[in-house]
Structure 1
Amino acid sequence: MKRLNKLAVSAVALATATACMSSTALADWLEEAAKPLAGTEISGIFLDRPGYRAIIKLLPEFEAKTGIKVNYEIVPYENTREKTVLNFTSQGDLTMALVDLVWIGEFAENGWIDPIENFTSDASITDPNLNLDGFFPLLLNAFGSWGGVTYGLPFDNYSGLLFYNSCMLKDAGFEKPPETWDEVMNVYAPKLTDASKNQYGFALQSLRGETQSADSFMRFLWPFGGSLLNAEFKSNLLSPESQAGLKFRQDLMQYMPPGIVSYDHAEAVNALAQGQVAMITEWSAFYGTLTDPATSKLGDCLAVAPEPAGPAGRLPALGGFSLAVAAQASEEQKKATWLFIQWATSEEIAKSYVEAGGVSGRMAVYEDPAIKSQYKFVEPMVASWQAGVPEFRPRFPSWPGISEVVAEWGSKMMLGEVSAEEGAKQIGTRMEDILTKDGYYDGSKKLLQ
């Protein structure tokens, strides 16, 4: 209820802003809003991924319209949170926060980012067509909201999808992709694997770090009916369902390339792009890489489907980032940053953003017939956002520490250094120690957000 009230207040503010603006301002709201801010410099962190390369391509348009200079540093994902936290705790120069959905609790509770209500209440800097209802509700809630308050707008949006080489599948006698993980293991992968030819049925990005904890480990909990935590925030990794998923992952390794535990996203995507593997489960944002002739040999053989279903149903991975205004910025920088965030996530540039390689969080763009026909990932991605798993990775502030534990012992499981059961015990003990220290069991912190 608290979240609905906050959004209602924002909606009233937006309606008031629209009513007070002249027709000229409505047509050119960005230029008008930016006039007092011309010459202001703002700064943020970008990743070396398609969505950020897409917005960089479009950036000259924003800077020309506004006179605002956008400075950015491209940082590897693995270093982004640490670099951002250090900047905020030392009162650095970042005016904009790139917020992974699992960082939103930490950033909000530490007061490092401002609620968007601080800005939507100001008619002079708010797009009359901001339309918060135009975002997929799952994304706005998971990526940008915490404790019923909206802090950021969805920017780089991911859904886990099955990318596959339709030509390899057809040569193996398959006319359609697998519907279930059971089919992947027992029907498709055996026929698509020939180690003597360095060809494998499946690749699962599993590099130690967030890739291991989120993209590998967590991917095999939910579809099998498992979860990281139970309702009391105690470890659920020894449940029959969680163990089934983790043991399934171990068994599936026989159909993956050697050294799969060292594969990050780039290696998994490249393995499919070069014809080494037939199937991968990867984020929707990598569609552009797989369709680029400079990086992929797939051509018309590239096909996309929803992630396979497990015994608990089809529960695909959910990931992504929001953009939020940094609390440490000056008032002028905050206003300029808010203008950029609105523009970068707007319905107005959503089509250009998608065509440049990004994945918009706006619903309307995926109803465009040209977009639907040109991009094979749209239909399965949109379907996944109707019934995704917002808590695919826990969004509370303790996640970064827990992620390190999961990454360490999840990697040891895959390497055969510990069994799935022993690894789950080790993660559970260490995870509950972190949650105890952080106050989740003595009542000082809420268990659910």
Structure 2
Amino acid sequence: MGHIGRKACATLGITLLLSLPGAAQAQTVLNGLFMAQAGYSESDVRAMTEAFEKAHPDIQVKLEFVPYETLHDKITLAAGSGGGYDVVLFDVIWPAEFAANNILADVTGRIDAKTRDAVQAGAWTTVDYKGKSYGMPWLMDSKFLFYNKAMLEKAGIAKPPASWPEVIKDAEILKQKGIVQYPIVWSWSQAEAIICDYAILMQAFGGDFLDASGKPGFQTGGGLDALNFMVDTLKNGTTNPHSTEYLEEDVRRVFSSGQAAFALNWTYMYNQANTDPKESQVVGQVGVIAPPGVDGKSTVSTVNGGMGLGIPAGSKKQDAAWTYISYLASPEVEAKYANSGPPIWKSYYADPSLKTSPLAPLLEAQDKSFAKLFSRPQAVDYTQFSNRLQQALQQALLGQASAADALKSAASDLGATN
């Protein structure tokens, strides 16, 4: 799972005189922290930065790349020590914590109305918290519903399902006809993956993680309906029972080996499953749509898997940092690197030339999903919230507690600490 207002760079803060061949040039030196995996690769970011420096010779950017697992702590530790970075890549689940602890600068005033309107509406949930923006969305993603076109055709199913109840209806037909033993596979291991799948179904059933007062709200209404839906698919045999042990790569493996008709997964699975014979036995048979909704409650269901670019509150070079962020997130740069990460700009998906692209089905699904991205809970202690909810979901799926009891217990625990 960012973009920009274009503000001319004012070289403020500390400047360094760097001795260059033949001349001395004053430069602002920015320190940037990025992720060494997923989305834009390290080579992509280095190439973007090199082009930026050519266009802005008064700004130099020193890049550091770390694994996702250490990104959060790098940002928070640097803030605690009083400096370090001027631009950081951050996950969609961190803005509440970073805002509450003054780790990221509020950049709301740097984003004009034209820019805000030009970006896919759902992308702003990556960086916004309580009406303020703490960066620009940059890496965008959601999970999509992948389906095996050959299996559906064999079962006499003419089109992909238009609602989640229809997914189950189609899965029952596939199972009854012996086309596939377990038509649906999910990533329901006790990990962040299950929160993402649950979020999609929660949006579909009209629920939310938190109520209007910021307290847990998942234990009733759409949140409870979503978990009961998950439990029922295990009971009726339409869901692969090993889903409770699976992460996203397991889902990809099962679907790509022809052992599932439906699967939820991130963008990356499309090319690997549909075009790579080394990775897939279902090449050319993969369909993809934005996950559907539930009649009367929703038309689409999503989860925001995006990341944003922000400026640490302690940076003394915030104007130059914003100039750099604005460049990285510009429509031109994002379009150039679209094969690595889906752009956040509406204009990209409106390009008529993309209608004939081999990726057209995926782009259509992305356009539909990105307009309505659903956020995981904006909790200051997100890790605690997620871990406790993961436990509750697993208890219900494994039959250790009813869905209602499992969620009620988790909500009680989290409500006391939220």
| Cross-structure match for 1:445 | none
Q: Which amino acid aligns with 1:431?
A: L
| Cross-structure match for 1:447 | none
Q: Which amino acid aligns with 2:183?
A: G
Paired with 1:96 and 1:151, the residues of 2 have a C-alpha distance of: 12
The CA deviation string for residues 117-168 of structure 1, in whole angstroms up to 9 with x for no partner, is 68789xxxxxxxx94442123323x122234332211111123321112112
Aligned identity (percent) is 22
1:161 aligns with 2:147: no
Q: Which structure dedicates a bigger proportion of its chain to helix?
A: 1
Paired with 1:150 and 1:258, the residues of 2 have a C-alpha distance of: 41
| Cross-structure match for 2:336 | 352
| Cross-structure match for 1:252 | 233
| Cross-structure match for 2:19 | none
TM norm structure 1: 0.76
Secondary structure at the residue paired with 2:287? strand
1:181 Cα deviation from its structure 2 partner: 1.2
1:419 aligns with 2:402: yes
Of residues 166, 182, 187, the one that matches 1:200 is: 182
| Cross-structure match for 1:327 | 313
1:250 Cα deviation from its structure 2 partner: 0.8
The CA deviation string for residues 322-343 of structure 1, in whole angstroms up to 9 with x for no partner, is 1111234453xx5554343222
- Cα 1:116–1:234 change in 2 (3 A) is closer
1:257 Cα deviation from its structure 2 partner: 2.8
Secondary structure at the residue paired with 1:269? helix
Secondary structure at the residue paired with 2:141? strand
| Cross-structure match for 1:59 | 46
Paired with 2:200 and 2:89, the residues of 1 have a C-alpha distance of: 23
1:307 Cα deviation from its structure 2 partner: 0.9
| Cross-structure match for 1:310 | 294
TM norm structure 2: 0.81
1:431 Cα deviation from its structure 2 partner: 1.4
- Cα 1:347–1:173 change in 2 (3 A) is same
Q: Which amino acid aligns with 2:284?
A: D
Paired with 1:37 and 1:170, the residues of 2 have a C-alpha distance of: 62
| Cross-structure match for 2:67 | 75
Secondary structure at the residue paired with 2:40? helix
| Cross-structure match for 2:191 | 209
Assess if the C-alpha contact under 8 Å between 1:194 and 1:200 holds in 2. Answer: no
| Cross-structure match for 2:34 | 45
- Cα 1:327–1:179 change in 2 (3 A) is same
- Unaligned runs of at least 5 residues, structure 1: 1-9, 21-34, 122-129, 436-449
Assess if the C-alpha contact under 8 Å between 2:200 and 2:303 holds in 1. Answer: no
Paired with 1:432 and 1:302, the residues of 2 have a C-alpha distance of: 42
The CA deviation string for residues 149-195 of structure 1, in whole angstroms up to 9 with x for no partner, is 3221111112332111211211222121111111222x221233499
Assess if the C-alpha contact under 8 Å between 1:178 and 1:184 holds in 2. Answer: yes
Assess if the C-alpha contact under 8 Å between 2:95 and 2:128 holds in 1. Answer: yes
Count of residue correspondences? 388
> What do you get for the CA RMSD once the two structures are aligned?
3.3
1:432 Cα deviation from its structure 2 partner: 0.6
Mapping for residues 35-434 of structure 1, pairs under 5 Å: 36-37=26-27, 40=29, 42-46=31-35, 48-49=37-38, 51-53=39-41, 56-57=43-44, 59-66=46-53, 68-76=60-68, 80-91=71-82, 93-116=84-107, 131-140=115-124, 142-185=125-168, 187-193=169-175, 199-213=181-195, 215-253=196-234, 254-284=237-267, 286-293=269-276, 294-311=278-295, 312-319=297-304, 320-331=306-317, 334=318, 337-354=321-338, 356-374=339-357, 375=359, 376-386=361-371, 388=372, 390=374, 392-434=375-417
Paired with 2:78 and 2:177, the residues of 1 have a C-alpha distance of: 47
- Unaligned runs of at least 5 residues, structure 2: 11-24, 55-59
Paired with 1:80 and 1:61, the residues of 2 have a C-alpha distance of: 20
Q: Which amino acid aligns with 2:123?
A: L
Paired with 1:180 and 1:108, the residues of 2 have a C-alpha distance of: 37
